[in-house]
Structure formats: C-alpha cells, structure tokens
C-alpha cells in the first residue's frame, strides 16, 4: 500500500476475525514502529504483548471503571474524562453505569493485546510544572503507538488505541509485574479487521490550522 493510502485509512478497529496474528507478523510491525521519535531519543517505551486469556480478563476488569465514567459523562452531556471539569454524575451513578461491549470485547477477541508502558525516568516532560494535565510526556509514546497501527494497516491488520485502563494504573502494573516507575499509556488490541473503513471522518485542514496567529486566516488546502 502507498503511505498516503495507509494514512487515510488507518481507522479504529474493534472487531477482529478469528485469524491469528503470528509473532512473525507482530515482529515485522514492531520492527518498523520502533523508528518513531521520542523526546531526547530516550526511548522509554516498554510494550507487553499479551496473548494469555486470564491476563486479558483481568485487563477487561481494569478497563471497566474508566469506561463507566466515560459513558456516564457522555450520557450527562459532558466531555468524558476532560481535565477541566470534574464529572457531574456521582460516584454511585458512575458505578451503576453499564459497560458497552465495544469497549471490552476487543480485549477478549483480538489475537494479541499490546499494553504500552513508559519509564517515567526516560520522559522529558517539559509541561510538568504547569497548572494543567501533562501532555508532553505522551508525545514520547504515541508516535510509536501510531507507527504500530500504520504498520499493522499496511500488513492487513488493525487495532485501536484504548486508554480506559490507565485510570487503574497501579493494578495494571502489578498484573504485568512492571515497576511502579512506569506509566500506562494505552492498551492496543491488534488483529485482522472484520470491516476495514475506507473513509475517515476528520476535520478539514482549514478548520484547525491558521496562519501566524490563533485567530489568523485558515490555511486552505487546494490540492489534497
Ligand atoms: C488517545 C486515544 C484514546 C482512545 N481511547 C479509546 C478507548 O479507550 N476505547 C476505544 O474503544 N477507543 C478509543 N480510542 C479510539 C477513538 O475512539 C478513535 O480513534 C476515534 O473515534 C476515531 O475513530 P476512526 O479512526 O475509526 O474514525 C482512543 C483513541 C485515542 C487517540
């Protein structure tokens, strides 16, 4: 596939066929993905490739609390997990919220689930002293994660970045035997897609890029 086609069609894949994703293919995907950048080239990412079903069931349980809050906030008309306003629904309402299958079934049915961790000692987190949620640290992780999904797409596979288990980070680290110095970035089920979407709904460039200033002229794309 052309790189441009890969970039235009790498969608969130949550339904997988029964096809395996052999270690040889996984190794090819990771072999390409490893060329992603990280702050200061510190390369602090650690990935645990989980195939064991018991471990996945534990991951499912650790995913549910984050999903409950996400869904409860959506139902309340809020931006789920946004760092600016605490959730309107009470802890009891959140605990009583049903978890949609789409959030957990991929963890059960994908042939492999990648748990992406990062060694915080290797992070150059230049926004850590600001009075807001940290953003820069993730930039040393997610280029690699996206490379995985691009390389998987080129191989005919797919997956989805999931982040709900991050809210249960200590338990995830304990489950995988990872040191407490590590952070959970995301969990990525990977497999052969049942459906491969070809048109992604994304904003046009002019809707989010301006010239010179935030309130500047939109940057129009004339020849996509
Ligand atoms: C940072 C991040 C966190 C995400 N977390 C989840 C998640 O926890 N569960 C899930 O099913 N999808 C998750 N997604 C997938 C998004 O919902 C998906 O990428 C987006 O809706 C676009 O989907 P599309 O590429 O199929 O159009 C996440 C994506 C990103 C980038």
Domains of the chain from N-terminus onward: 3-196 (3.40.109.10)
Q: Encoding tokens for residue 107?
A: 């963890």
Span 28-35, mean pLDDT? Answer: 98
Distance of CA 40 to the CA centre of its chain: 22
CB 120 within 8 A of CB 141: no
Q: CB within 6 Å of ligand 1 — which residues?
A: 11-12, 14, 103, 160-164, 197, 200-201
68, 161, 198: residue to mutate for ligand 1 pocket, most atoms within 8 A of CB? 161
pTM: 0.97
Per-residue pLDDT, 198: 82
The Cβ of residue 190 has, within 10 Å, a number of other Cβ atoms equal to 25
pLDDT band at 196 (very low <50, low <70, confident <90, very high): confident
- pLDDT mean across residues, the chain: 97
pLDDT digits (tens, 9 = 90+) for 151-176: 999 999 999 999 999 999 999 999 99
Q: Looking at the chain, which runs of residues are DSSP E strands?
A: 45-50, 112-119, 158-159, 182-191
Span 206-214, mean pLDDT? Answer: 98
Q: What is the CA(12)–ligand 1 centre distance, in A?
A: 6
pLDDT digits (tens, 9 = 90+) for 79-117: 999 999 999 999 999 999 999 999 999 999 999 999 999
Atom of ligand 1 nearest to the CA of 164: 8
CA–CA separation, 171 and 162 (whole Å): 16
Q: By alpha-carbon position, which residue is closest to atom 5 of ligand 1?
A: 162
Per-residue pLDDT, 224: 57
| 223 compared with 217, residue with greater pLDDT | 217
To 10 degrees, what angle do helices 53-75 and 101-109 make?
Answer: 160
């Amino acid at each position: 596939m052309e790189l441009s086609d890969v970039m235009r069609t790498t969608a969130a894949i949550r339904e997988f066929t029964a096809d395996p994703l052999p270690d040889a293919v996984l190794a090819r995907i990771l072999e390409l993905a490893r060329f992603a950048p990280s702050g200061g080239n510190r390369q602090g990412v650690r990935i645990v490739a989980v195939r064991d079903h018991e471990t996945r069931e534990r991951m499912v349980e650790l995913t549910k609390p984050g999903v409950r809050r996400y869904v409860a906030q959506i139902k309340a008309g809020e931006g789920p997990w946004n760092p600016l306003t605490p959730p309107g629904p009470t802890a009891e309402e959140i605990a009583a919220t049903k978890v949609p299958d789409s959030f957990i079934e991929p963890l059960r049915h994908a042939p492999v689930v990648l748990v992406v961790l990062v060694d915080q000692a290797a992070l150059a987190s230049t926004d850590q002293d600001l009075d807001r949620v940290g953003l820069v640290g993730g930039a040393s992780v997610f280029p690699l994660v996206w490379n995985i999904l691009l390389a998987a797409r080129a191989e005919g596979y797919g997956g989805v970045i999931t982040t709900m288990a991050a809210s249960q980070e200590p338990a995830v680290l304990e489950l995988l035997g990872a040191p407490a110095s590590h952070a959970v970035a995301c969990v990525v089920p990977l497999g052969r897609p049942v459906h491969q979407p070809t048109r992604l709904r994304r904003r046009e460039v002019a809707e989010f890029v301006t010239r010179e200033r935030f309130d500047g002229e939109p940057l129009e794309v004339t020849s996509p």
